[in-house]
Structure 1
Amino acid sequence: MAETTKKVFVKSVSRNTLAKQVVERIVQLLVSGQMKPGDKLPPEMELMEELEVSRPVLREALSSLEMLEVITRKTRGGTYFNNKIGSKPFSVMLALSVDNLQAVIEARMALELGLVTIAAEKITDEELQKLKESIDRIAESRDNNYGESDKEFHRIIALSANNEIVEGMIDSLLIAHNQTDRQIKYRERELTVEHHTAIYNALLKRDPHEAFTQMYRHLKYVREKILQTVQSLDF
C-alpha cells in the first residue's frame, strides 16, 4: 500500500533571508501541531509551491535543519521529523535567533549560571584538574589566540553537571558560545585568567553561591564588551 503524506498549509515567505525563513516555517509546523515528531514532510515540489521558493533555497533550509538534528533525509525515502526532536530545542531556537545577539548572550548566561551551580556540587577532581589545565593554556598563550581553551573551560563545567536531561542543553551552550565568541575583536588574556581562576576556586571549594557569583561577573563583563563592540561598529 502506497505511503501517504499529510497535506499541510504553510505561509509563503518574502525574498529576504529566504532559507532562514523556510527553516522557521518548517519548525512552525511542529510548534503549531500540524505535524509531529516522526511525521514525513511533504515532497520537495509541494514544499516549494507552498513556500514559493526555489529548490536551492529549500535544500539549504533542509540542510540546516538536518545539521540541527530536527529532520532526517532518507535516500529515496523522503524527509522526516526526528522522533527525538525535543532533545535539542535550545539549539533550534539559538540557530533561529542568530541575528538577535542580545537574546543569544542572555541565553548563554541563563544556561551557564544554572550549570555552574550544579557543577559546584558534582564536579570531580579529574574535571577540576582539566579546568586548571585549560586556564594554564590560556595563561601561556602568546598570541592571545586562546578561543578553543576558553570554550573548553566552559564545556568542562557544563559536562560536569552529569545530567542526561541537561545534555541537550550543552550543545546549545556551545552554539551560544561560538556565536558570541565570533563578536570578540580583541582578547584580554590576563583578565580572562583572573575570571576563570575565580570560578575554578569557587568550584574547588564546592561553593555554588560563589560559583554563581563569579560566573555572573565573568559573563556580565563578556556581555558588555561584546555589545559595546557591536554598537561601535554600527556608527
Structure 2
Amino acid sequence: MGGKMESVKMKSVKRNTLANQAIDQIIDLLMSEQLKAGDKLPSEMELMDILRISRPVLREALGSLETLGVIHRKTKEGTFFSEKVGSEPFRLMLALSVGNIDTIIETRLSNELGLVGLAAERISEMELKKLKENIDQMEAVDGDYLDIDREFHRIIAFSASNSITEGMIDPILNMYDKTMENIPLKKRNKEKTVQQHKAIYHALEKRDPIEAYASMYRHLDHARNRVIRPLEKEELNMNKGVR
C-alpha cells in the first residue's frame, strides 16, 4: 500500500473552498485512472498530507462524496470508491425538478428510448420470462397497478446491462410515480397500458431494437399525453377561476 501511495499524484489545494477542491482532487483519482471503481482510497493521514488540508476539511469532503454515493466506508477497512454508479446523485438532481411535469416525462422518454434499444440486443430469456409474468400480473390485478408498471420498466432498464443507466432509472421512475399518484385510478387506462406493454415485450422477444424503440415511444407518448394535458387543462381552468 505504501509503494502504491507514493505513485499517486494529486495537487495541493488552496485555502478558498478547500472541501470542494479536495472533492475535485479525489474524483480526479478516478478520472486520471490512478485508481478505479472499487479501489481503496489512501488513508486520511495520507490524504491530509498529499492535499495539505486539515482533518475537518477532509472529512467534510469525504462526507459529501459519501452522500453522493461516490465512496463508501467499511469499518476497520477504510474508504473505497463505489463499485458502480448509484442512484443518489440522480435522485438529488431530479429533486430540483419536482413539480416540473414536462421535464420529468421528457427525461424519462429520452432515457427509456435508449434503454429499450439496448435491451433488444441484450435481454436474457430469464428477463423475458419476468416481463411476461409481469404483464400477466398486471392483467390480473384489481386495483392500483403502479408498482407492477414500474417493475416492467425496471426489468427492461436492467436488461440493458449499463451501470450508469441502472443508477438513473429508479430516481426517474420514482419522480414519475409521484406525478401519477395525482391521477385518479379511474382516469388511467390499464387495458391500454397492458396492450402497449405486450407490444414492447414482443419486440424485445424478436430482438428488434427498431420495433422496440417505436413501441416504447408510443407507450410513453401516450402516458405523456394522459398526464400532462389533463393537468395543464386543470391548471388553466384554475387560473381562469382566480381571475
* TM-score greater than 0.5 by the shorter chain: yes
Residue 92 (structure 1) aligns with: 92
Provide the residue aligned with 1:103 in structure 2. Answer: 103
| Superposition deviation, residue 40 in structure 1 | 4.0
Q: Note if contact 1:104-1:180 (Cα within 8 Å) is conserved in structure 2.
A: no
Equivalents in 2 of 1:230, 1:71: separation in Å?
Answer: 40
1:185 maps onto 2:204 in alignment:
no
Which position in structure 1 is the counterpart of 2:145?
146
Task: Tell me the equivalent position of 2:224.
Answer: 223
In the TM superposition, residue 142 of structure 1 has moved relative to its aligned partner by: 1.7
| TM-score where L is the length of structure 1 | 0.65
1:25-36 aligned at under 5 Å gives the runs: 36=24
- Give the C-alpha shift of residue 70 in structure 1: 7.3
One-letter amino acid matched to 2:197: H
Query: What is the number of residues matched between the two proteins?
Result: 182
Task: Tell me if the contact between 1:184 and 1:226 (Cα under 8 Å) persists in the aligned partners.
Answer: yes
Closer, same or farther in 2 for the Cα pair 1:165/1:233, shift >3 Å?
same
Q: Which residue pairs with 2:171 in the alignment? A: 172
Are the counterparts in 2 of residues 120 and 211 from structure 1 also a CA contact under 8 Å? yes
Name the CA distance, whole Å, in 2 between partners of 1:138 and 1:35.
45
Gaps (5+ residues) in structure 2?
Answer: 1-13, 28-57, 74-79, 239-243
Instruction: Summarize the alignment of residues 5-154 of structure 1 with structure 2, pairs less than 5 Å apart.
Output: 7-8=16-17, 36=24, 40-41=59-60, 66=67, 69=69, 87-88=85-86, 89-143=89-143, 145-154=144-153
Change (3 A) 1:129 1:142: same
Identity of aligned residues (%): 43
Structure with greater proportional helix content: 2
Shift of 1:173: 3.3
Does the CA-based 8 Å contact 2:146-2:177 persist in structure 1? no
1:46 aligns with none
Bigger Rg over Cα: 2
Aligned Cα root-mean-square deviation (Å): 3.4
Q: Secondary structure at the match of 1:87?
A: coil
How far did 1:108 drift? 0.6
Distance in 1, matches of 2:110 and 2:171, equals 11
